[in-house]
Amino acid sequence: MPAPFRFTLEATDPVTGARAGRFETPRGTILTPTFMPVGTQATVKSLTPDDLHGLGAQVILANTYHLHLRPGEDLIERLGGLHRFMRWDGPILTDSGGFQVFSLAHLRKVTEEGVAFRSHIDGSARLLTPEVATRIQERLGADIAMAFDHCVDLPATYEKTRDAMERTHRWLDRCLTAHARPDQALFPIVQGGTFDDLRIESAEAIRRIDAPGYAIGGVSVGETKEDARRIVALVAPRLPADRPRYLMGVGSPEDLANGVAGGVDLFDCVLPTRIARNGTVLTDAGRITLTRGALRDVDGPIEGDCDCYTCQNFTVAYLHHLFKAEELLGHRLATIHNLRYMARLGARMRQAILAGTYGTWRDQFLAGYRVADEAVAQAQRDRRVAAWQAARPGLDARTAARKAVALAGDGDGLGHD
């Protein structure tokens, strides 16, 4: 593995293949498996860097597309780089922006050169190429950068999916040629949609590259959970065992439990922070909506065994009141709990792997975890699509759906925060 990055595989569960490892980076060691909070605009909404350290975050995400548009990599570089700009001293991973530009169907055109698009902020014409995306991430100073890829939305034909996959591979070569920072890890991304043979072909192609880590992309764009699990089972074992594996855009607790069993080490998603701002918190029994009338006078924490600041200091009744009164403190306290829950979940999975009992732990966890109602999630998605169409008369339903997913985020954790 290219210095100064090193991944040490500490244990593999004998039943499931789940892995526990240590990923050493210039700004600290990441213990895996772990969930990475998303801070698209150089901030995890409502939290300070001290909050993030306190709740156990090891690495956070920021987004190339959004930071390029505002405030711009020129300013961030001039002010000392992304770490100094946002005052986060741990590792940072930046998405390449590929997922965002894929979403702008009515504003972009994909060619072999790259993606020409118009800013969703001011309508200005922009061109994002593999070289530009790589250069932006280098100037931001991220510890882990993602290769610029071509993501397709579903449903997609076999021909369209193969074309995007092959372009992703060609763009990867250009990213590697452009990449010049030895203190930054560049992760290639496996694509191939829901087609097994394309996924296998893509995994085999990128594993030949001596990269510090590898990502599985295109699994949070509308496919079923069954498809996502199948893709992970196909791809993860074909990636180098001595490098970290990153499943992009996946963050429901049940999906982490299954993804780790599939051999994945790193996860990210806006789900925990987005649902927190909507008054929903995570527990081992499933999600709890704090605005429910039955919680109005509950004189106890969200979870009795949770050590987060919120559970240690506030009752469910108080949180219910904050959300009913539309007080911003409610957003912050729910976000703290949800991200601490995800950090504790990663630590518990790691402990079970090291003990050789992950298969049993996962089965017990999933047996007690109530999965979110997909019908409710779909209704939430439909409301966001309708809101986009109402705000932009004439926007077709397909484009509105893609836009709502990528820029506002999906109820199942898609998009960015």
- Indicate the domain borders of the chain: 6-269
Predicted confidence band of residue 223 (pLDDT cuts 50, 70, 90): confident
47-56, 162-171, 303-312, 378-387: range with lowest mean pLDDT: 378-387
Q: Which residues are catalytic?
A: 95, 268
* Residue 9 CB burial class (10 angstroms; 0-12, 13-18, ≥19): middle
Q: Helix (H, G, I), strand (E, B), or coil: what is residue 92? A: strand
**pLDDT score of 153:** 80
Asked if the model's pLDDT at residue 269 lies above 60, the reply is yes
31-35, 236-240, 286-290, 392-396: range with lowest mean pLDDT: 392-396
Predicted confidence band of residue 195 (pLDDT cuts 50, 70, 90): very high
Average pLDDT over every residue of 127-140: 97
Rounded Cα distance between 407 and 417, Å, is: 8
Alpha helices in 55-97 (DSSP H): 64-69, 73-78, 82-86
Mean pLDDT of all residues belonging to the chain:
91
Q: Are 238 and 203 in contact (CB under 8 A)?
A: yes
**pLDDT score of 158:** 98
Please give the full DSSP string across 366-386, using - where no structure is assigned.
Answer: HHH-BPPPHHHHHHHHHHHHH
Residue with tokens 């829901």: 194
Alpha helices in 208-327 (DSSP H): 225-235, 253-261, 271-277, 309-313, 316-324
**pLDDT score of 410:** 34
**pLDDT score of 294:** 97
- Domain 6-269 fold: TIM Barrel (3.20.20)
